[in-house]
């Protein structure tokens, strides 16, 4: 069964951190988006939220109720397969065949169910890379639910650093890493992608906002990675990103297209990883 029937979402004009220290019952988590915070509950908690923001001095902008399926863009979360990986929500009873690997993924309310075109194509690109080589150190920027970090670990990565600036994404990814037995290989941290691009890695996956990708392209250490998978890019912006990668001697070896989204796979053949 699905984890929640309805989601009660309170939009707060202000940045709230460590919300779980103040909110307990029925609290799902806090989604940070710039200077705006979204508090998610499985039941209404109007008075508790009012009390919290009164202390903080922030106004409530809106209160919304959505059923969980609507939040997931109308998709009913079901098991699906990429390569030899079977990705399934934990409430589904799934049996895998010989040679298959099961990943039980609870996306909570963060990005990374595997159904969005950008996530699907990043999974496909990662699978294709691991059929050619076995990158040992992976940097997953904008990890969301942790789905891409888990895929890399299951396919052979020795160390994965998974980064997200969203408090709720870090909590969700950490739970998924733990429940899939990958705490030794995957480390989840909260922060901005730009602050971690200096980390050593031979494969970077960034399924993230275009503005963040543009910031990464300004950093020389970004181009010292052998493999680059970039997504969250609209088709109209992909050619400019390609041009800038080629300027830095990164060859575009694959371009996956789904609807109006592009995922670019870059290879720096002169780089063995930094």
Q: What is the pLDDT of residues 154-165, one digit of tens each?
A: 999 999 999 999
Res. 34 pLDDT band, cuts 50 70 90: confident
- Which long-range contacts link 258-262 to residues 24+ away (Cβ below 8 Å)? 258/117, 258/120, 258/121, 259/117, 260/234, 260/235, 260/236, 261/117, 261/118, 261/121, 261/231, 261/232, 261/233, 261/234, 261/235, 262/231, 262/233, 262/234, 262/235, 262/237, 262/238
User: Does residue 51 register a pLDDT over 70?
Assistant: yes
Mean pLDDT confidence for 164-189: 97
Mean pLDDT confidence for 40-62: 90
Residues 101-136 have pLDDT tens digits of 999 999 999 999 999 999 999 999 999 999 999 999
Query: Is 111-267 assigned to CATH 3.40.50.150?
Result: yes
Domain map (residue ranges) of the chain: 6-71, 111-267
Res. 59 pLDDT band, cuts 50 70 90: confident
Res. 265 pLDDT band, cuts 50 70 90: very high
User: Does residue 76 register a pLDDT over 90?
Assistant: no
Average pLDDT, the chain: 94
Q: Which residues contact 94 (CB under 8 A, 6 or more apart)?
A: 79, 86, 88, 102
pLDDT on residue 116? 94
pLDDT on residue 266? 98
Q: What is the pTM of this model?
A: 0.94
pLDDT on residue 52? 86
State which CATH number among 3.30.110, 3.40.50, 3.30.300, 3.30.70 fits the domain covering 6-71: 3.30.70
């Amino acid at each position: 069964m699905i984890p929640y029937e309805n989601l009660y979402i309170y939009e707060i004009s202000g940045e709230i951190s460590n919300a779980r220290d103040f909110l307990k019952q029925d609290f799902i988590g806090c989604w940070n988006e710039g200077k705006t915070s979204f508090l998610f509950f499985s039941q209404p908690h109007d008075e508790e939220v009012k009390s919290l923001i009164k202390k903080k001095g922030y106004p409530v902008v809106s209160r919304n109720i959505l059923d969980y399926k609507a939040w997931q863009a109308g998709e009913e979360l079901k098991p699906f397969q990429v390569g030899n990986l079977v990705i399934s929500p934990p409430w589904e009873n799934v049996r895998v065949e010989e040679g298959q690997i099961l990943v039980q993924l609870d996306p909570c309310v963060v990005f990374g169910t595997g159904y969005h075109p950008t996530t699907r194509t990043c999974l496909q690109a990662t699978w294709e890379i691991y059929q050619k080589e076995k990158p040992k150190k992976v940097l997953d920027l904008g990890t969301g639910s942790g789905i891409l970090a888990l895929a890399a670990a299951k396919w052979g990565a020795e160390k994965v650093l998974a980064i997200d600036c969203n408090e709720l994404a870090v909590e969700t990814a950490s739970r998924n890493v733990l429940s899939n037995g990958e705490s030794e290989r995957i480390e989840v941290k909260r922060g901005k992608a730009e602050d971690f691009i200096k980390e050593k890695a031979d494969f970077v996956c960034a399924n993230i906002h275009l503005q963040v990708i543009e910031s990464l392209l300004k950093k020389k250490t970004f181009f010292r990675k052998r493999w680059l998978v970039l997504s969250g890019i609209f088709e109209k912006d992909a050619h400019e990103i390609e041009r800038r990668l080629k300027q830095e001697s990164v060859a575009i070896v694959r371009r996956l297209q789904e609807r109006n989204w592009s995922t670019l796979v870059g290879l720096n053949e002169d780089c063995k990883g930094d």
